[in-house]
A and B are shown apart, each in its own frame.
Chain A
């Protein structure tokens, strides 16, 4: 069974469109994340949710809106897509703040977004 899954794997769209990426984890984790990997492979945190509540929101344009309907899902909606949004977006999850002194993060396979 896939631990952290994302859909779609590839997303090609036109500038100005609105799109969503979905993420689901079946590990029973409390915390979920969205990371962005740019064309130079640099990975950076975008958002973090703990038990459906937003806990970290880095300096991301407000065109990006995460939504967590329950603690197993964290979706990313992007409005008015721009060329610079082209990247690979990774979802991840970890047990939560209280479980152990550190928590391994499990990553999804990534969604490659291409904006034309």
Chain B
């Protein structure tokens, strides 16, 4: 079956530090890959996505590259801010386009000033 594995949290960083959250996946076929973010007390928001190998998704300074050879989609940001404190979820979806998302367990990020 399909699955997503994320690095365990929590992750605590100082402001302006470099962030990497690892994500690897197992899927049949060629999944689309997503990072969702959940700010405290809020719902899920799509942060970025990639639909095919070597695609790079980017948004708000975050980036992730779809690596088929390593089945990975690691999230990176060069300089985190306090406002980036949230829970980050890696997820995948396979064809057809309305199959449910399969989520990783989430990684809590805390950024301190």
Contact = CB atoms under 8 A, between A and B. Distances in A.
Chain A partners chain B: yes
A42 B49 CA distance: 20
A44 B98 contact: no
B103 interface: yes
Given A42-B103, A101-B97, A109-B43, 7 more contacts: A50-B98, A97-B97, A98-B96, A102-B51, A104-B49, A107-B44, A107-B45
Contact of A96 (B43, B89, B97): B97
A84 to B, nearest CB: 18
Contacts of A103: 93, 97-98
Given A42-B106, A97-B96, A110-B43, A105 B87 contact: no
Interface residues of B, number: 26
B18 interface: no
A108 interface: yes
Nearest to A49: B98
Contact of B93 (A42, A99, A102): A102
Closest 6 CB pairs of A and B: A45-B100, A97-B96, A102-B32, A31-B98, A103-B97, A107-B44
B43 A107 contact: yes
Contact of A105 (B38, B42, B51, B101): B101
A101 B43 contact: no
Interface in A45-64: 45, 48, 50, 55-56
Chain B CB within 10 Å, residue with most, of A30, A41, A43, A99:
A43
